[in-house]
Amino acid sequence: MVNRIGATPLLALDGIRKSFGATHALRGVSLNVQAGEIHALIGVNGAGKSTLMHILAGAETADAGTVLINGTPFRAANPLEARRAGIAMIYQELSLAGHLSVAENIVLGCEPARCGLLKAKTVAARANEALALMGHSDIDIHAPVHLQGIAQRQVIEIARALSSGCRILVLDEPTSSLSVNDIRKLFDLLKKLQTAGIAIIYISHVLEEIKTISGGYTVLRDGQVAGSGATEKVSTDELITMMSGKSAELLFPHGQRRPGEVLLHCKNVSGHPLPRNVSLELRRGEILGLAGVVGAGRTELMRILMGLDKPAAGTITVAGQHGWKPAGKRLSQGMGLLSEDRKNEGLALKLTLADNMTMSRLSRCGRYGTVQPRRQYNAAVQLIGRLDIRTTGPAQKVQALSGGNQQKVAIGRLLFHDCDILLLDEPTRGVDVHSKQQIYRLIDALATGKNDGKPRAVLLAGSYLPELLGMCDRIAVMHRGKLGQAKPAEQWTEHELLRATAGAQSTVTKTRDNDETTEESS
Amino acid sequence: MNKPYFNFRLMLKNSALGPFLGLIGIYLLFAFIAPASFRSSANLQTMARQSVIVGMAAIGMTLVIISGGIDLSVGSTIALTTVIIAALLQNRQWHPAAAALGGVLAGGLTGFITGTLITRLRMAPFIVTLGMMLIIRGAAKGLAGEQKIDAPMSALNNLLATRPGWSWPAGVWMLLGLALLMSLVLRYTVFGRHVVAVGSNPETARLCGIRVALVRVGVYTLCGIFTGMAGLMQFSRLTVGDPTVAMGRELDVIAAVVIGGGSLTGGEGSIFGSLAGAMIMTVISSGCRQIGMANWIQEIVTGGIIILAVGLDRLRHRK
């Protein structure tokens, strides 16, 4: 069963390419994993890790390149085929049927039965066997899955993968919501699986973990392999250098900024459970960067500031008014949020550009509670010109636009609302290079106030570090819900930022977050 | 390794015990305030008999709701079944048992069509069954020539009657037997567990190789068959085929399932819970009638019970 190193790799990806429209997510990526190897896949957000794994799992199809399993070409058309070929993905959002028992989840889809009648004893035996193999006999196999903790669920999902004959196991950020104790248990488990000859691909942002657990590594950057080899022969710093590299394509406009009065002030703000004890100060005429990996708590902080979620503790002061206020009040105070989730949250996709851009302040389009479509239309025409949106006109539905143009519509709403305080969450996610450049220029113009002589305050959250370094006046790093000290952008290097966002040098902190994180590849 | 197969705490948490406690509570309440006639065994039997039609359909509806669907065509299917049974008895001179089987299978066929439409066209069950509700009602009226079809008296008319030697009507026994059978199917067969898996998380079910569409078609077909059984009971009570009977009955059936712990988002529900739900509604209407409460109060009380039952269920789940 155990395939010795040196023989054909159990999994070989070769020259994988994938584009989404104008964005090249993968540009010829190769990756080899031996049976019984734990292979780390590393890269910043948007480097292409998720896309690569989606291709392996059959959720996406590659434009070019080959996948070999044990030397045989393989192309999964859907997740089920990949599973049948022995590839199992364990995503951050675990995929279990919560109403079924632990044992039933483990045998789901391949239940032992005679004439359609479940063999209860065989089900129990197989579930016990799978759990015992993993050293988790403590889990009650008859209890429903929704009563299990997150660490147990992860174990159950791995058990299901094993009992369905999986040979290649992909773990996507498996420790992001585990406590230290559970992380240790998970690592013990992975080592057991390793000796059983399973090939494991381990995706993580936490470099310390990678050094502990993995035998080989592959670093992805901008859709290409930036380095690979044996983990013991590489230092954390070298890994960070490979991850960051240089990105010369984009120019970051940085006009003359004159920070003025404090518009937004928050002290010791905590959420449920993120963020933790965050304090910050945002002035008119500056861009404050909020760096952090997906799931660090940036979005949660912004939602609290905007009044979408209530904080568990802390004080917030906006434009001299104290206390947490709901979103309607925040909007009238001149605060606006650009959501990271454009499609579900940021835009009403089935409505027109004109409706979307005027939605937050319809009072500008009519009097006494009326809305004049003509005024909406005119406002939209003006914004379309200013933002250079490629559209057939204000009456077009937003869902027909490309990602970059949709994002411009979302920004257009903030402009129409005439916001003073802009909370921008991943403003260039899923946006093509050309539109990115335009969005950067626009953000800079808002902060300097060069178009209308009125500088705005901008809080810019992102995981793409060159963007933050290029655009911001000050940057603070968020890691597992905690916000570090904001320092002038010149005092940061990309290397240091990456180190801080990955939580390097700090030991793994004991946390039990419930991150709802999805990484988008662009 | 050796874990007890029965875990009492979990059984409490997952069983239909809540609705049964509710049923007992409401029964005792009326037993206390209503006249003695309410407590008579004859009245108990009457209430059981009255619950049979809704209860039969609720068995099928429980399966549909557990699988994450809904079926609004139940009332129409009951009417169609009574019409078909009457027509087979009257016009074709079929043996009563064959006519009953024909009616039940016709119900199954409508369920099969509904399930196929939902899975093939990938349409929302609410919409498809809303359409089927009108189509089946129309078909029943057309088949019956827009009037009641008389049928000769037969053994079918005794299904809900008390017969000497049988302390309870045959229909009640059939209901309990079928409910027990389907509870076991749901718990101990691959199909049953797949129904729960599909309702709990359809994506996971697909990933695990479950043929989700097939499961759904099966569930709707079964629902049609049980609705056909409900139609048979309805015919037994009416003694004629009536295309306008059971208007809006689907809402009673859905209410019974929901009171019994079914979740409209799928994954949850219990067949005996749904029977308890059906009984709760009968006890309320019978009790209210006997203490001389107006019809409108009964309706308000029943509505309140539905909301209360689901509210309690939410509270229970929050822990």
Condensed to tens digits (0 to 9), the pLDDT of residues B47-99 reads 988 899 999 999 999 999 999 999 999 999 999 999 999 999 988 889 999 99
Domain count, chain B: 1
CATH of the domain at B100: 1.10.3470
Nearest to A83 among B3, B197, B207 (CB): B207
Question: B246 lies in a domain?
Answer: yes
Determine, for residues A95 and B203 on separate chains, whether the beta-carbon distance falls below 8 Å: yes
pLDDT digits (tens, 9 = 90+) for A347-377: 888 888 888 888 888 888 878 777 788 888 9
Q: What is the dihedral of CA A446, A447, A450, A453, to 10 degrees?
A: 90
Q: What is the pLDDT of residue A522?
A: 35
A87-90 and A168-172: which strand pairing?
parallel
> Can you tell me the mean pLDDT for A216-224?
88
For residue A68, pLDDT over 80 is answered with yes
> Can you tell me the mean pLDDT for B132-149?
94
Contact A140/B at CB under 8 A: yes
Nearest to A340 by CA among A296, A285, A303, A377: A303
Q: What is the pLDDT of residue B242?
A: 93
Amino acid at B138: G
Question: B95 lies in a domain?
Answer: yes
pLDDT digits (tens, 9 = 90+) for A42-57: 887 667 888 888 888 8
Which residue shows structure tokens 């490309």?
A: A402
Chain A residue with minimum CA distance to B7: A142
Task: Give chain B positions within 8 Å (CB) of A142.
Answer: 3, 5, 7, 10
Q: How far apart are CA A372 and CA B178, in angstroms?
A: 62
Question: B239 lies in a domain?
Answer: yes
So what CATH class is A11-244?
alpha beta
Contact A3/B at CB under 8 A: no
Residue B209, min C-alpha distance to chain A (Å): 5
pLDDT digits (tens, 9 = 90+) for A387-426: 888 888 888 888 878 778 889 999 998 999 889 999 999 8
Determine, for residues B200 and A97 on separate chains, whether the beta-carbon distance falls below 8 Å: yes
Q: What is the pLDDT of residue A512?
A: 37
How many CB atoms within 10 Å of residue A326? 11
Nearest to A96 among B188, B196, B204 (CB): B204
pLDDT digits (tens, 9 = 90+) for A169-193: 999 888 876 777 788 888 988 998 8
Q: What is the pLDDT of residue B139?
A: 96
> Could you give the angle at the alpha carbon of B169 between the alpha carbons of B163 and B171, nearest 5°?
140
Residue B269, min C-alpha distance to chain A (Å): 10
Determine, for residues A116 and B191 on separate chains, whether the beta-carbon distance falls below 8 Å: yes
Nearest to A134 by CA among A108, A112, A176, A102: A102
Nearest to A118 among B10, B190, B197 (CB): B190
Task: Give chain A positions within 8 Å (CB) of B192.
Answer: 118
Domain with CATH 3.40.50.300 in chain A: 11-244, 262-334+419-501
Q: What is the pLDDT of residue A46?
A: 67
Do A210 and A227 contact (CB within 8 A), yes or no?
no
Q: Domain range holding B154? A: 50-312
Q: Which CATH architecture has domain A262-334+419-501?
A: 3-Layer(aba) Sandwich (3.40)
What percent of chain A shows pLDDT beyond 70? 92
Question: B16 lies in a domain?
Answer: no
Contact B196/A at CB under 8 A: yes
Interface with chain B: mutation pick from A80, A101, A108, highest number of B CBs within 10 Å: A108
Q: What is the pLDDT of residue A2?
A: 41
Q: How far apart are CA A475 and CA A289, in angstroms?
A: 4
pLDDT digits (tens, 9 = 90+) for A239-296: 878 887 654 456 788 888 888 899 999 999 998 888 899 999 999 999 999 998 777 8
Determine, for residues A97 and B267 on separate chains, whether the beta-carbon distance falls below 8 Å: yes
pLDDT digits (tens, 9 = 90+) for B255-301: 999 999 888 888 889 999 999 999 999 998 888 888 888 888 888 98
In this predicted model, which residue has the larger pLDDT, A238 or B126? B126
Amino acid at A28: G
Determine, for residues B208 and A109 on separate chains, whether the beta-carbon distance falls below 8 Å: yes
